[in-house]
Amino acid sequence: MIATASRHAAPQTMAEKILTHAAGRTAMAGDLVVVDVAMAMTVDSIAQSVFRAMQAMGVERVRDPERVALFVDHVAPASTVQVAEAQAALRRFAREQGITRFYDAGSGICHQVMIEEHLVTPGTVVVGSDSHSTIYGCVGAFGNGMGSTDVAVAMATGQTWLRVPATLRVDAAGELPPGVGAKDVALQLAGRLGAAGARYMAVEFSFPETLDLPARMTLCGMTTEIGAKAGLVVPDAVTATYGSVPDWLYPDPGAVYARRERVDLGTLEPLVAEPGHVDRVTPVSAAGDVAVDVVFLGTCTNGRLADLHAAANVLRGRRVHAGTRMLVVPASHEVLTAAAADGTLSILLAAGATLGTPGCGPCMGRHMGALAAGEVCLSAGNRNFAGRMGSPEARIYLGSPEVAAATAVAGRIAAPAEI
């Protein structure tokens, strides 16, 4: 019998609530639990390892094809013969296993498509072979990135095990100033807490409803960069527009939190993370005169339609600096189509931006714009460690779509207000 909130001996956080229902018994921070997995997904860059792990277990078929999703997104389209062969194997696996939730090159980034296709349900556990599976907390699911063996187990058995994380609570209030976005909120938290500030914790956000679903996806995904096991947004009217919210999902009054933080949205300004460190954060106004060779707008962090709109608002009627290249990679085919229909792409292209196939693009440095030694990039992505996007001698700054667009125009790191 599934446990319910009325049977809990103590008040619970969202993470404890979700894992209680998935385990069928009360789950509190520190407990080891085996939980039902509502959806397991893997991507082209690691799928072969998942399949080999299943074979090593002697498992020939996934337990439930309807609870498995496969994506070709990390190197899409294929950049080498070896990559092409791996992707061909993924297509064969989908056909042989009867997996209909297969999304080929050009469909988009796994996390974006999982939300667009409503493959994520509030109150469930979702695992993926990509570390930014924490994004699924934007709609109140416990999204967790796992290694290939753990994902193979989830696909083979429909279950996984984990230790129930303690929870960091973040309460946000106020309204973001013009030119400031969710990425700035995430960077501010990273700078305040540090790259390991939420190690193996669930980050439970309480946001004003002015922060829409795309903003919440950005924030939940970025919890990975502070070491979190999951990022979760307390359900509200925004969540309800996505799907039905179970009445038990809300955190209990009196729930125990390992730490609490508060963010005053109205006091924030445009920020950047300096090369090599997601938590070395500085205001754009204090970044200095940094010339930029490449601006990249995209990824599961900032490749959504709202992000393209934010960049287009800055770029409208302007041109990308002569010494700077700007690459725009929409997070999905749906985003690409919408941006074409509403004129956003026309603004970006007229400004001199280059458009890439929907997917992860150059985020992991394997294709579509790898950086050369000595080059400086302003990326709207989530990681900037040495070698992330190509040469270890390149330097990567992280910033918002607004900062990315302003930087592209100025040819140096700039805030939107400067343009």
Q: Are residues 382 and 347 in the same domain?
A: yes
Residue 338 has φ and ψ, to the nearest 5°, of: -65, -40
296 domain residue, yes or no: yes
Please choose, from the candidates 23, 43, 63, the residue with its C-alpha nearest in 3D space to the C-alpha of residue 153.
Answer: 63
Q: Are residues 67 and 158 in the same domain?
A: yes
Q: Are residues 140 and 85 in the same domain?
A: yes
Q: Are residues 90 and 127 in the same domain?
A: yes
Residue 327 has φ and ψ, to the nearest 5°, of: -115, 125
Residue 8's pLDDT is what? 56
For residue 308, give the amino acid letter: L
Q: Which residues contact 214 (CB under 8 A, 6 or more apart)?
A: 182, 304, 305, 306, 307
Q: Are residues 188 and 277 in the same domain?
A: no
Residue 419's pLDDT is what? 87
Residue 9's pLDDT is what? 72
Query: Which portions of the chain are predicted below pLDDT 50?
Result: 1-7
Q: Are residues 128 and 220 in the same domain?
A: yes
| Strands of 129-165, DSSP E | 142-145, 159-163
328 domain residue, yes or no: yes
How many helices (H) and strands (E) would you count in the chain?
A: 13, 18
Domain boundary among 225, 252, 268: 268
| Helices of type H across 268-375 | 299-302, 305-315, 333-341, 344-350
Q: Are residues 332 and 232 in the same domain?
A: no
pTM comes to 0.96
For residue 135, give the amino acid letter: I
Residue 372's pLDDT is what? 97
Q: How many domains does the chain have?
A: 2
CATH number, residue 317 = 3.30.499.10
Do the beta carbons of residue 249 and residue 127 sit within 8 Å? no
Structural domain that includes position 360: 271-418
Q: Are residues 63 and 21 in the same domain?
A: yes
For the record, the structure tokens of 370 come out as 């790898």
